Amino acid sequence: MSNLETKHLTKKFGNQVVLDDLNLNLKPNTIYALLGRNGAGKSTLLSILANHIFASSGSVVWQDKELTGRDHPVQEFYLMSEHNLFNKSDSLKNIIKKTTLLQGTFDQTLADEMLLAFKLDPKKKVSQLSTGYRTIFKTIVALSVPAEYVFLDEPILGLDANHRVMLYRYILKAYENRARTIVLSTHLVEEIANLVAHILILKDVKIIVDSDVEDLLAKSYQISGPKEEVQLYCQGLQILDDEQIGTLYTCYIYADLPANRIIPDSIVIKHSDLQDSFIKLTEEERELNV
């Protein structure tokens, strides 16, 4: 088992820098969420990791080897994205057959179970599927290939709430059947809090959070009370945002609470949930009221 690393990975489209000097270390057998606002570079990063596009500079390293176009082990890395070029006039059954040939093996048992659960008829053609069902089918294929690293780019795009819950269960089931690394990008942040172990957040061409979910949540606080006392308590801490509603002033922080600082009775400290933390961490910079 080997980590998948990026070293000083940079991607430019023309003059636009999309990813700048990323040094990532993706552990084997771990479920990651890759988060970021629209245009943050999530799809670009996943496409580079899966060798669908090339970095402008820097490298992707696996098993102590720099992965280059020619040497990229196709069977070990699989990207499911909106660009999966399945032939639209092909039946699902046929696509599974072709994928099995290409990938060497295929978890037909899992695929059959998922096709049945989602009521997808394998005799249907891709062109006969709705947008949501196409996403479901692409994810079924991605979870059934033998890859060690599976990248799911927005696997829940266009899925209704029931199908999203089912899909999360099957992602976990696939992982429990055979551990592998799964990196999934999504905008539905709160829904994946219990599914993933580790969070990566892209903002302004950099990774700004690379943390276990538990650690991220443990450091995300909302501190409320009278303004002066909250400000005094939060001095020196990383403040992401603040707001004043009537007499109640709240600071959103991302930091460990100082062990020796006394918490006045007038202030209340709560943990933020994953969605709130994400929103505060990825908000455009603005002047704080401090």
Ligand X SMILES: Nc1ncnc2c1ncn2[C@@H]1O[C@H](COP(=O)(O)OP(=O)(O)OP(=O)(O)O)[C@@H](O)[C@H]1O
Positions touching ligand X (CB under 6 A) are: 13, 18, 36, 38-44
CB of 3 to ligand X, least distance (A): 23
Burial (0-12, 13-18, 19+ Cβ within 10 Å), 185: buried
In angstroms, rounded to a whole number, what is the distance separating the alpha carbons of residues 172 and 149?
Answer: 15
Residue 230, Cβ density class (10 Å: 0-12 exposed, 13-18 middle, ≥19 buried): buried
CB of 14 to ligand X, least distance (A): 7
Task: Tell me if 252 sits within 8 A of 272, measured CB to CB.
Answer: yes
Q: Please classify residue 273 by burial: count the beta carbons closer than 10 Å to its beta carbon, then call 0-12 exposed, 13-18 middle and 19+ buried.
A: middle
Of 45 and 240, nearer to ligand X (C-beta) is: 45
Distance in Å, CB of 251 to ligand X, minimum: 28
Nearest distance, CB of residue 41 and ligand X, angstroms: 4
* 110 vs 188 by CB, closer to ligand X: 188
Q: CB-wise, 83 or 271, nearer to ligand X? A: 83
Nearer to ligand X, 174 or 192 (CB): 192
**How far, in Å, are 51, 71, 74, 166, 223 from residue 140 at the CA level?**
21, 27, 18, 12, 43
The residue type at 276? D
Compute the distance between CA of residue 150 and CA of residue 144 in angstroms, rounded to an integer. 10
CA distance 100 to 121: 18
Looking at the Cβ atoms of 202 and 240, the one nearer to ligand X is: 202
Between 45 and 251, name the residue whose CB sits nearer to ligand X: 45
Kindly state the smallest distance separating residue 284's Cβ from ligand X, in Å.
Answer: 15
Query: Residues 55, 48: contact at Cβ < 8 Å?
Result: yes
Cβ neighbours for 287, distance < 8 A, ≥ 6 positions apart: none
Output 13 or 228, the one with its CB closest to ligand X.
13
Structural contact between residues 18 and 41, judged by C-beta atoms closer than 8 angstroms: yes
Beta carbon of residue 10, minimum distance to ligand X (angstroms, whole number):
13
Quote the least distance from Cβ 171 to ligand X, whole Å: 19
